[in-house]
Structures are given as C-alpha cells and as structure tokens.
Amino acid sequence: MVKVFERPKALADVPTHYCPGCTHGIIHRLIAEVIDELGIVDKTIGVAPVGCAVLAYNYFTCDMQQAAHGRAPAVATGIKRVCPDSAVFTYQGDGDLASIGCAEIVHAAARSEQITTIFVNNGIYGMTGGQMAPTTLPGDKTTTSPYGRDTSKQGFPIRISEMLATLDGPAYIARVSVHNVANIVRARKAIKKAFEYQLAGKGFTLVEILSTCPTNWGITPIEALNKVKSEMLPYFPLGEIKDIEAGEKK
Amino acid sequence: MILDVIMAGFGGQGVMLMGQLLTYAGMVDNKQVSWMPAYGPEMRGGTANCTVIVSDAPVGSPVVSEPKAVIAMNLPSLDKFEPLVKPGGVLIYNSSLIHRAPTRTDVRLIAIPANEIAAELGNTRVANMVMLGALLAATEAVSTSAVEAALKKALPAHRQDLLPLNLEAIARGRELVK
Amino acid sequence: MGERILMKGNEAIGEAAIKAGCRFFFGYPITPQNELPEYMSRRMPQVDGTFVQAESEIAAINMVYGAAGAGARAMTSSSSPGISLKQEGISYIAGAELPAVIVNIVRGGPGLGGIQPGQGDYFQSVKGGGHGDYRLIVLAPANLQEAVDLVTEAFDLADYYRNPVLILGDGLLGQMMEPVEFKATKLRELPAKEWATNGLRNHGGKTNIINSLVLDPHGLEEHNIRLQEKYARIVEAEQKAEIVDCDDAELAIVAYGSTARIAKTAVTQLRQEGLKVGLIRPISLWPFPVKDFEKVIPTVKSFLTVEMSAGQMVEDVRLTVNGCKPVYFYGRMGGIVPAPEEIAAQVREILGGAK
Ligand SMILES: Cc1ncc(C[n+]2csc(CCOP(=O)(O)OP(=O)(O)O)c2C)c(N)n1
C-alpha cells in the first residue's frame, strides 16, 4: 500500500502544545516538508523564538537553538558564520520579530545574512495572553488595547515584508497565508524557494505567514480563518514582494 | 485557619470565579483571605485551579500542599488533588462528570451532581455555584449573607437578574450536604 | 479611605501607582506581570494618563528616562528577563539622578527560565545590575497591602532622593489576590522639580540638562562622590525591616518578600512546638537593614536565611552578622515555592531535633 500522508522526517513524532485552530502546527509541517524534500535535515539548524513557538526545538528533528526574545536573527547570524554550508532558519512571531526584535531583523536583512526567516504574523502576542502586537489591526481589541487599537496613540500596524524589501540585502521576501488549501500550497512553495535561495547563497530570505490565534482573538477557529481572509489580507497583501531573480514586484 | 481549599476543573467551568467569590465573602466577613491561581501555559491545556484561604490570622503562604478541602470539577482535577487533601478534610467532587469513586478513606467524600442540578435550574453555567454551596455547607467557612454580597459584587450591573439563579444554585448545593 | 478591595497583586500595584500620581506607564508583556500593563492600559485613559506598550523593555525604560526627566511620575514594570534588558537604562537613570519606579515581578531564571515565582534577581537588584557605581532603593513587599503602601512610598523616595526605586516582587505576589486599602498618605515634603526639562517657559528661562556623561575624570569623580554621599544618607535614613518574635529567639529565620510570609507560618508552627524561633524580614533590601540586625545579633544564637534562590541575600546576612553567629541557608530554585513545613524541618534540624 502506498502511504499518501506521512509525517515529515524533519518533524518530531510528538504532540504539540498549540491551541485548537492555531496555524503554528501547519507552518511547522510546511517547513519540515521542505527540509525533507531538499534532503537537508542533517545540515539544517533552526532557531526558536520567544513566543508560542518557543518549544519549536522539541518539534523539529534538525539541530535547534533557542534564542532570547527578538534576537533569533542575531543568533542565526552567529550559527551561519560558523557553519556557512548549513541551512539556518529562524522561526519568529510578530511580537518577537516586529517589536522587540525589529533591530535584529533589519540588520540581518541589511547584511544579507544567508538565513531564512519564517515570520508568523498572527497580529497578537499569543504566549503572554493576547496583548497588542505591532501587527494588530486598527480598532482590534487586545488586553493592552482594551478600547481597540487607536492609531493616534498606539500607531499603525507595521508591514514588515514591504519595509524589509526596501533594503538591498534581501534576496527573497514573500507574504503568504495558510487560511485555505490553495494558500497553504503557495506558502509551501515560498518556503521552499527561500531555502533554495539560501542554499544557493543568494542572500537573506524571509517568508511572512499570516496566521491565526483563535484563543486570544476570542473567536472560533473557523471565524479566525475568515478573519485572516476578510480583515488581514486587505491590510497585508499576499505575494512575492521581493525576488532578486525576478526583479522588484508589486 | 478557618479553611484552605483548592478548587480545580476545566477552563470555562468557573473555577477561578468560584474561588474569588469565596475569597470576597471571607473579606466581607472581616476575615483574612487570599486567592492564588495556578498560572501559565497549564491553563491553556484546559485545566485551571486556584487556592483560597480564609483565616483569622494573617495569611502566610497562599499556596498549600495539604488543603483542608478540595473541589474537583472534573476527573483530571480529582486525580491530581485527591491525594493532597488533609486527613480529616473534605473532598467534594462533581459526580456529573467524574465516574470513578475517590479512593481516600480518611477524608469526608461528597459527591455532587453539579451539572445535572445546574441543568435542572436551567443554566449549566451555575454548576460551580452548586459546588460552592456544598463547600459552604460542609465547612461553614463564610456566612450566607457574605456570599450574597460577593455575588452582587461579582455580577455586572446588567446581569444582576442572575442573582436569584446563583443563590438558588448555592442553596441546592447546600441541601445535598447534611 | 477604609474600604478594603479584593485585588490581584499586579493590579493593586498599578492602582497604587495611579493613586500616587503616576500618569505615565511604559510596559511590555511578560509573564507573570502582564496584568500590570494590562491594568494600566485600561486605567490610564480614565485618569487622563498615558499608557504606552513599548517595542521592548529597553525602549520602555528609556521612555521612563524621558518622562522622568521631563518632570513626571513615571513607572515601568517587567519580570526577570525584561528587567535584565532594562539595566543599561536604569544605570542612566541613576547616573542622571532621575526619580522613577521600576517593578520586577520575579520569575525563575537564568535565561528564559520559567514563569513561576523566584528570588534569583536579588544580586541584580541590590548590587548594581547595570554598569557603574550606583544604587537603587530596593523595596520588597511580602503582602499586597504592603505592596500598595510601598509603591506610594517608592514614588516619594524617588522624588525625594532623585533616585530610581525598585519594587521587588515575585510571581506569587503578582498573581495572588488579597484585600487592599488605598490610604491617602503624604510622607515627605518634596522639593519642586526645578531640574526638569519641560521647556524654558516652565522653569524661569534657565536651560536644564538631563545627562549622565561627564568626560572630565575629576568631574566624574566628583559626581560619583556626590552620588555616594546621597547613598550614605539613604543608608542612614531608609533601612526598613520587620522583626517578629526575636526577643527570646535561639534562631532567627531571615527571609524577604513572599518567602517571608511563608517563613512566618513556619515560625508560628515552631513556636507551638515550643521552639524559640523568630523572623527578620528585610523590607528594604537596599539599603540592607543592618541596624535591625544589630538589635538581634547579640541575643540570637544562629540565623537561617531562606530564599527562592541558590543563596543571594544570605551573602548580605553573612556580611552583617560578620562571623559573630552561624548563618545557615535553605533555598529552592526554578520556581518552586518552599512550604512552611519544609522551612520548619530545616529549623528543627539546626536546633537539634524537635523537643
Ligand atoms: C525580554 C523578554 N521580554 C518579554 C518576554 C515575554 N514574552 C514571551 S512570548 C512574548 C511575545 C510573543 O508574541 P509573538 O512573538 O507575537 O508570538 P506568538 O506567541 O503570538 O506566537 C513575550 C513578550 C520574554 N520572554 N523576554
């Protein structure tokens, strides 16, 4: 019999701690599938963030390091400089990457570090219980924007991918989503391309993935997927934002 | 020390609120009180628990290793906290959801079909109040009037109409403990 | 006045700050202090105050620097890893002599550690933490009423001495609920903030500068000497401790913060057994309450320091006792809160078994 559904080898055979309806699990799987497909599990080193994905080091079977909050790109820089022939990726949430770690990601991109960053944008701080993130949409209520995000006091969401695409360093930047099957397929392609560019030494790569947090958004998993589609997509348009092989896009 | 109790159940069973009500009632009775939640990712996994102390003297440790009473709203809570009850203490468990008998023989065991009673009252969400009623009857830790005051305080202005239902649930829980 | 309100520690600290006139709060999420910034995000708009969720703890402490330098009562809070990030800013605040209140709801470390209560940040709090010769006033409440009172006091001390004050709590105090009462107290006559950089029009046309750079070594030494003189005044005037049952005690337990309230339960148990045990509870960790120790050192035969750490405050206890009497240590780490029975067992062992 042919197995049609198999756990990727790069994914550990353990249950994850993620809440029902959270898309971190899907994203882990996509990364693991790409690592398998490229046959690089023995030369991949991942960097786990501080956030809901802090335990990612338990879920991937490649080597992993756990970094301080926001500092994964700096840690990855250290690893990659020591192991230039390896594939190094960071896995970071929006609080980790776009708030406290904004300097590290900008400079890793500017240096064109040969790493791949998987940026999980769920518009909230999941791990700490639902505080406002830099990517929280205007008007959205969180535990630290209890009256709704007021842009006159709490500023505007940051479009990290577009911002980093203004730099010369990055080789590939894409924004994808995992709210339905078609988009999951596209997300996987983008992750694969990012890893391939890294392995070819083309430069810094980042894939931003729009994600859900039903628990802290306070809605059901289905409603959460709908929110990605109807509210996040208009603010965070999908697509390949930078690809040095194709020239500037959009 | 008048009472130290661990209350435990699924997130959503109102365990934390039940603890806060008892704490508030103790304060109304001019007792020394504390409420301490278990916090952290454990909550995300679905179980919640808190420790409440009602005392005549200032409260020392707000966490206790041998509580005089345990309220277990579900099976994982019974499994976890049954062994901790102080010998001679009381173990109140929600027999609507727990289908094994506790094994302790040195504590008072009280089975309360809290969900059934709450359903009879027309609102399954007051199962926690039924359990609280049983605890109050078993321990007489705080006065009825204090609990009523606590409930009034806990219910938001537009929900005060739920007061009679909650009091009724507490009364039903009390009746089951003689 | 007089009304007892049941509150969570983190929220009580927030409300106390607002009652003390703090209108500027800069925070960043981290467990187990999240309820404090969350509370401030709700409350500050109601009192015309400002809450900013900074992009990091580094940013938050520097927002405090700016706000305090502009003359406001400003505050930030965090838990251990975040407090580590604030250290550079705290050193600047101390160097520039700005009043500010910082709250650390300590968790287990080192590194990312865990989120359960700890006391492993004692060294960081009282011995520097950041660079240079500076001191923080460090206050360690053991219950929520005291937390509320000490926050009020902290703002006054900060303004009075123009020095940052640290409230050292832990996950237990942050997460628990207890009744608190907000008392309207006026503690000190406070000088006007004539040094504040709030625009020439607000302070008579003379330029004010907030700064910690002094390139001339003699100038910097003088600045340091002035700081040290200030610290000496604080050491003289601001020591605080609670002494319980030490008059006839053979052994005194030394503990601060939530460990002290647990130790108190142990003392009560041991007294019931007829053992002569007391408690010294430092409330000001810096300045360390040496004067209170001096009162008991002549009569107490030995000391047992209990901490949720590998032994940090015990070094100050040893310095203070200075070899006169034996100083024992008992600690739990990693977020484990010691039980009163555990502490009592240690005491019995030291005193040679129960009588
Ligand atoms: C220096 C420091 N500050 C704060 C924290 C607390 N903290 C843990 S996770 C987290 C944010 C997580 O949010 P995000 O990066 O959006 O990831 P998510 O949990 O949503 O996946 C924070 C602030 C910490 N561990 N260290």
Interface confidence (ipTM) of the complex: 0.94
CA distance B42 to chain A (A): 10
Q: Answer whether A69 contacts ligand 1 (Cβ < 6 A).
A: yes
A234 touches chain C (CB under 8 A): no
Chain Cα centroid distance, residue C208: 30
Residue span of the structural domain in which B142 resides: 2-177
Task: Let me know whether C272 and C224 are in one domain.
Answer: no
Residue span of the structural domain in which C287 resides: 241-354
The residue whose CA has the least distance to atom 5 of ligand 1 is: C30
The atom of ligand 1 lying closest to the CA of C82 is 1
Task: Let me know whether C250 and C231 are in one domain.
Answer: no
State whether C51 and A131 contact (CB < 8 Å). Answer: no
Q: Which of C31, C38, C45 is closest, CB to CB, to A143?
A: C38
**pLDDT for res B44:** 58
The encoded tokens of residue C13 equal 């600290």
Taking residues C120-124, report their average pLDDT: 98
For residue C345, the SS3 value is helix
Q: How far apart are CA C333 and CA C329, in angstroms?
A: 13
The encoded tokens of residue C285 equal 């960790």
Ligand 1 center to residue A115 CA distance, Å?
Answer: 22
Within 8 A of C107 by CB-CB distance, chain A residues are none
Ramachandran category for residue C198: left, alpha or beta (phi over 0 → left; psi -120 to 50 → alpha): alpha
CA distances from A232 to A123, A191, A219, C214 (A): 9, 20, 15, 50
Residue C322 has pLDDT above 50, yes or no: yes
| CATH (domain of C165) | 3.40.50.970
Q: What is the DSSP string of C74-142?
A: EEEEE-HHHHHHHHHHHHHHHHTT--EEEEEEEBS-STT--SSB--TTHHHHHS-SSSSS---EEE--S
Ligand 1 center to residue A98 CA distance, Å?
Answer: 11
Q: How far apart are CA C128 and CA C92, in angstroms?
A: 12
Residue B40 has pLDDT above 80, yes or no: no
Q: How far apart are CA A53 and CA C248, in angstroms?
A: 55
State whether C55 and A143 contact (CB < 8 Å). Answer: no
Task: Let me know whether C253 and C187 are in one domain.
Answer: no
Average pLDDT, chain C: 96
Q: Which of A100, A143, A145 is closest, CB to CB, to C56?
A: A100
Q: How far apart are CA B118 and CA B137, in angstroms?
A: 18
| Residue of A24, A94, A125 to test ligand 1 pocket, by largest number of atoms within 8 Å of CB | A125
Q: Answer whether A243 contacts ligand 1 (Cβ < 6 A).
A: no
State whether C175 and B39 contact (CB < 8 Å). Answer: yes
Question: What dihedral angle (degrees, nearest 10) is formed by the CA atoms of B19, B23, B24, B30?
Answer: 170
Ramachandran category for residue A26: left, alpha or beta (phi over 0 → left; psi -120 to 50 → alpha): alpha
Task: Let me know whether C81 and C225 are in one domain.
Answer: yes
**pLDDT for res C352:** 87
**pLDDT for res A4:** 65
For chain C, what is the domain count? Answer: 2
Task: Let me know whether C227 and C135 are in one domain.
Answer: yes
Task: Let me know whether C192 and C318 are in one domain.
Answer: no
Which H/E stretch holds residue C252?
strand C251-254
CA distance C117 to chain A (A): 16
**pLDDT for res B178:** 76
Chains that touch B (3 or more CB pairs under 8 A): A, C
Q: How far apart are CA C229 and CA C232, in angstroms?
A: 5
Write down which residue in C237, C262, C287 finishes a domain: C237
| CATH (domain of B18) | 3.40.920.10
For residue C6, the SS3 value is strand
Q: How far apart are CA B24 and CA B35, in angstroms?
A: 9
Chain Cα centroid distance, residue C139: 3
A17 touches chain B (CB under 8 A): yes
| CATH (domain of C338) | 3.40.50.920
Within 8 A of C340 by CB-CB distance, chain B residues are 60-61
The atom of ligand 1 lying closest to the CA of C85 is 1
Indicate the fold that domain A24-243 takes in CATH. Answer: Rossmann fold (3.40.50)
Within 8 A of B150 by CB-CB distance, chain C residues are none
Q: How far apart are CA C6 and CA B20, in angstroms?
A: 9
CA distance C53 to chain A (A): 7
A125 touches chain C (CB under 8 A): yes
Chains A and C: how many Cβ contacts under 8 Å?
50
CA distance A70 to chain C (A): 9
Question: What dihedral angle (degrees, nearest 10) is formed by the CA atoms of A187, A189, A194, A197?
Answer: -170
Q: Would you place residue C161 in the very low, low, confident or very high pLDDT band (cuts 50, 70, 90)?
A: very high
For residue A187, the SS3 value is helix
For chain B, what is the domain count? Answer: 1
Write down which residue in C205, C220, C237 finishes a domain: C237
Q: Is the peptide bond before B58 cis (omega within 30 degrees of 0)?
A: no
Task: Let me know whether C226 and C246 are in one domain.
Answer: no
Which H/E stretch holds residue B91?
strand B90-94
Q: Would you place residue C354 in the very low, low, confident or very high pLDDT band (cuts 50, 70, 90)?
A: very low
State whether C265 and B61 contact (CB < 8 Å). Answer: yes
Task: Let me know whether C285 and C195 are in one domain.
Answer: no
Residue of A nearest to B42 (CA): A17
Q: How far apart are CA C14 and CA C36, in angstroms?
A: 6
Domain layout of chain A by residue ranges: 24-243
Nearest to C105 by CA among C43, C13, C196, C184: C13
Q: What are phi and psi of C109, to 5 degrees?
A: -130, -160
* Identity of the amino acid at A51: G
Residue of A nearest to C26 (CA): A144
Query: pLDDT tens digits, chain A, 250 residues: what are they?
Result: 666 678 999 999 999 999 999 999 999 999 999 999 999 999 999 999 999 999 999 999 999 999 999 999 999 999 999 999 999 999 999 999 999 999 999 999 999 999 999 999 999 999 999 999 999 999 999 999 999 999 999 999 999 999 999 999 999 999 999 999 999 999 999 999 999 999 999 999 999 999 999 999 999 999 999 999 999 999 999 999 999 999 555 4
Q: Would you place residue C355 in the very low, low, confident or very high pLDDT band (cuts 50, 70, 90)?
A: very low
Q: How far apart are CA C264 and CA C91, in angstroms?
A: 35
Taking residues B72-99, report their average pLDDT: 97
Cβ–Cβ under 8 Å, residues A42 and A59? no
Helices (DSSP H) in C187-331: which residue ranges?
217-237, 257-272, 290-296, 313-321
Q: Answer whether C21 contacts ligand 1 (Cβ < 6 A).
A: no
Task: Let me know whether C173 and C292 are in one domain.
Answer: no
Q: Would you place residue C60 in the very low, low, confident or very high pLDDT band (cuts 50, 70, 90)?
A: very high
